[in-house]
């Protein structure tokens, strides 16, 4: 509806201006607020089963070898909060094991907001990167993930497990929700995600999780 209104208003305004119509019938029509999109986030158990199912593939060794890169990419998304395009551009020079940090640059095209960010490595992210480095023996300019997408293997695994059709972006949500449930404040999570609004968007999307965490924590308070 909003797109149609954006098209009709200037058309009717032009017609009214040139005497083809008396008034602009779309001038006073208010935009309908779009309902917030419901996010789908895998549970920890679903995520664990999903990774196992992707790695298992159809049981054949060559098939499992192909699926490995997809499973590794899904873990990278889930443990870093990267957007899929950002994850595909990560190179080993972005990894600082000494300071336990990962710098997300977005590569040639940059990140969504055109600013790089450095995030601390969670234990899971550090373990993943150490394993991949040992397996790949890479150069600093090599990409961390040999594949840029895992859509097919995720879709196949979701179908096999009868899960919702999770997307690349749902693993970014998984990262955010896991951090919030662990007690990390929303503004900090927002910075790790690369948001520039101080946490306003993250509050709208994940605010209910903070409330649930707050209620749960309150039950532990004894006077």
1, part of any domain = no
CATH number for position 117: 1.10.443.10
pLDDT of residue 174: 94
| Domain assignment present for 190 | no
Looking at the DSSP bridge assignments, the partners of residue 95 are: 102
Q: How far apart are CA 156 and CA 54, in angstroms?
A: 8
Domain hosting 62: range is 44-173
Residue 89 counted as domain residue: yes
| pLDDT value for 136 | 94
Question: For each of the chain's 223 residues, which pLDDT tens digit applies?
Answer: 556 767 777 887 877 777 777 788 777 777 766 555 677 889 999 999 999 999 998 778 878 888 999 999 999 999 999 999 999 999 999 999 999 999 999 988 888 888 899 999 999 999 999 999 999 999 999 999 999 999 999 999 999 999 999 999 999 999 999 998 888 888 999 999 999 888 788 888 887 765 666 667 677 777 8
Whole-number pLDDT of residue 127: 97
Domain assignment present for residue 105? The answer is yes
Burial of 116 (0-12, 13-18, 19+ CB in 10 A): middle
- Give the number of domains in the chain: 1
Residue 189 lies in a domain: no
Cα(193)–Cα(80) distance, rounded to whole angstroms?
Answer: 8
Residue 195 lies in a domain: no
Residue 64 near residue 57 (C-beta atoms within 8 A): yes
DSSP assignments along 51-114, one per residue: HHHHHHTTS-HHHHHHHHHHHHHHHHHHHH---HHHHHH-BGGGEETTTTEEEE--GGG--TTS
pLDDT recorded at residue 15: 76
Task: Give pLDDT, residue 32.
Answer: 67
154 within domain boundaries: yes
Is residue 129 one of the residues assigned to a domain?
A: yes
Q: What is the pLDDT of residue 210?
A: 59
């Amino acid at each position: 509806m909003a797109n149609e209104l954006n098209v009709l208003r200037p058309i009717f305004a032009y017609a009214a201006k040139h005497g083809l119509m008396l008034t602009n019938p779309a001038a006073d029509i208010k935009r309908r607020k779009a309902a917030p999109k419901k996010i789908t986030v895998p549970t920890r158990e679903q995520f664990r089963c999903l990774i196992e199912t992707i790695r298992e593939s159809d049981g054949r060794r060559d098939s499992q070898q192909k699926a490995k890169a997809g499973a590794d990419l899904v873990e990278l998304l889930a443990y870093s909060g990267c957007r899929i395009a950002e994850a595909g551009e990560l190179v080993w020079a972005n990894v600082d094991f000494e300071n336990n940090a990962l710098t997300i640059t977005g590569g040639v095209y940059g990140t969504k907001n055109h600013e790089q960010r450095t995030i601390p490595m969670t234990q899971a992210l550090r373990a993943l990167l150490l394993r991949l480095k040992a397996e790949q023996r890479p150069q600093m300019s090599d990409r961390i993930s040999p594949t840029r997408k895992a859509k097919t293997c995720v879709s196949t695994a979701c179908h096999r497990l009868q899960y919702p059709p999770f997307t690349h972006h749902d693993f970014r949500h998984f990262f955010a929700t896991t951090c919030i449930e662990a007690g990390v404040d929303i503004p900090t999570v927002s910075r790790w995600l690369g948001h520039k609004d101080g946490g306003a968007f993250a509050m709208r999307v994940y605010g209910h999780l903070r409330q649930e965490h707050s209620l749960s924590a309150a039950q532990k308070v004894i006077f």
